[in-house]
């Protein structure tokens, strides 16, 4: 079937389709159908980048993910966050937040897995998500950098619940108790979680940049590099001893504030 893509121009004289003489495939007098191009070609889904500029290859991956979810249901918004947005292709899974979802989680997961990507789907209603940004340092870190299918800005006031922070600190405590058995990625995550809680408890902005700065300040840039980027364990003892101290200071502070909040 011959198809032509042309721009429409309108005149006052003829109510018919006008083509150049040498245009192949259409004879004079033939009846044709014209329709908007968007009815024939799938409209490309938009990508909004917040605090990140994706490579063209990653953009294509994101478009495919958005298309899968878009085809399988409805949603308020879709956000992609986490290590997928880091430079290169070292991510293990892809954090995908679907806000106000009306979808079959299993179907979406399976379709994304068929692309060779392990999805970590977070299905959440918009109220809980907004509450999370107010109360949870890790939610704030998540929306410091993301790509989404709809334009959005998250600027929520902080609502510090010290008991919740205290509870979450027990997760970070595993960096002390299980340091030996954790992978570098797991150690990095627990350290990042701990520093996010610390910044939040101190009423500072929880951003990837601030987390990195704080880690370098507390433990020394070289120690962080050696332990968490090169996997060289020589500075381990120094790091754990400092981490224990910082952990105890933060835990006492959080518990103290929690009792005042009661």
63/211 Cα distance (integer angstroms): 29
Question: For helices 184-201 and 208-219, what crossing angle results, to 10°?
Answer: 100
In terms of Cα–Cα distance, which of 168, 187, 171 is closest to 179? 187
Cβ closest to another protein, residue 45 vs residue 174: 174
Distance CA 201, CA 197 (A): 6
Which of 53, 180, 230, 237 contacts another protein by CB under 8 A?
180
Asked if 109 and 96 count as a contact pair (C-beta separation under 8 A), the reply is no
Total residues binding another protein (CB under 8 A)? 29
For position 235 contacting another protein by CB under 8 A, the verdict is no
- Cβ atoms < 10 Å from Cβ of 254: 22
* Closer to another protein by Cβ: residue 65 or 165: 165
Q: How far is the CB of 173 from another protein (least distance, A)?
A: 5
Kindly state whether residue 54 participates in binding another protein, applying the rule CB under 8 A: no
Asked if residue 217 binds another protein (CB under 8 A), the reply is no
Instruction: Residue 118: name the closest of 134, 148, 96, 140 by CA.
Output: 96
Span 185-214, contacts to another protein by CB under 8 A: 186
Phi–psi pair at 208, nearest 5 degrees: -60, -40
User: Whose Cβ is closer to another protein: residue 173's or residue 212's?
Assistant: 173
Which of residues 114 and 180 has its CB atom nearest to another protein in the complex? 180
Residues 119-148 that bind another protein (CB under 8 A): 120, 122, 124-125, 128, 131-132
SS (H, E, C) 105-160: HHHHHHHHHCCCCCEEEEEECHHHHHHHHHHCHHHHHHCCCEEECCCCCCCCCCCC
Least Å from the CB of residue 164 to another protein: 5
Minimum Å gap between C-beta 1 and another protein is 50
107 binds another protein (CB under 8 A): no
Nearest to 49 by CA among 159, 174, 145, 137: 145
Tokens of 242: 């400092």
92 part of the interface to another protein, by CB under 8 A: no
* 259 is an interface residue for another protein by CB under 8 A: yes
Q: Using CB under 8 A, which of the segments 2-10, 166-174, 201-209, 215-223 binds another protein?
A: 166-174
**Nearest approach, Cβ of residue 58 and another protein (Å):** 24
Residues in touch with another protein (CB under 8 A): 120, 122, 124-125, 128, 131-132, 161, 163-164, 166-168, 170-171, 173-174, 176-178, 180-182, 186, 255-256, 258-259, 262
């Amino acid at each position: 079937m011959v198809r032509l893509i042309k721009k429409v121009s309108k005149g006052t004289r003829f109510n018919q389709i006008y083509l150049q003489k040498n245009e192949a495939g259409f004879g004079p007098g033939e009846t044709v159908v014209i329709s908007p191009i968007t009815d024939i070609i799938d409209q490309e889904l938009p990508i909004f980048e917040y605090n990140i500029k994706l490579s063209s290859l990653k953009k294509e991956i994101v478009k495919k993910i958005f298309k899968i979810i878009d085809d399988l249901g409805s949603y308020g918004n879709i956000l992609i966050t986490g290590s997928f947005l880091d430079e290169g292709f070292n991510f293990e899974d892809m954090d995908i937040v679907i806000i106000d979802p009306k979808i079959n989680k299993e179907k979406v997961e399976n379709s994304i897995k068929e692309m060779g990507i392990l999805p970590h789907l977070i299905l959440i209603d918009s109220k809980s998500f907004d509450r999370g940004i107010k109360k949870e340092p890790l939610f704030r870190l998540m929306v410091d950098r993301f790509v989404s299918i709809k334009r959005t800005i998250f600027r929520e006031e902080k609502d510090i619940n010290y008991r919740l922070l205290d509870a979450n600190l027990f997760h970070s405590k595993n960096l002390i108790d299980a340091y030996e058995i954790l992978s570098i990625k797991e150690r990095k995550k627990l350290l990042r979680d701990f520093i996010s809680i610390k910044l939040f408890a101190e009423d500072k902005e929880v951003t990837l940049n601030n987390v990195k700065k704080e880690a370098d300040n507390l433990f020394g840039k070289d120690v962080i590099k050696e332990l968490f980027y090169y996997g060289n364990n020589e500075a381990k003892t120094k790091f754990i001893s400092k981490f224990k101290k910082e952990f105890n200071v933060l835990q006492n502070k959080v518990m103290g504030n929690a009792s005042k909040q009661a």
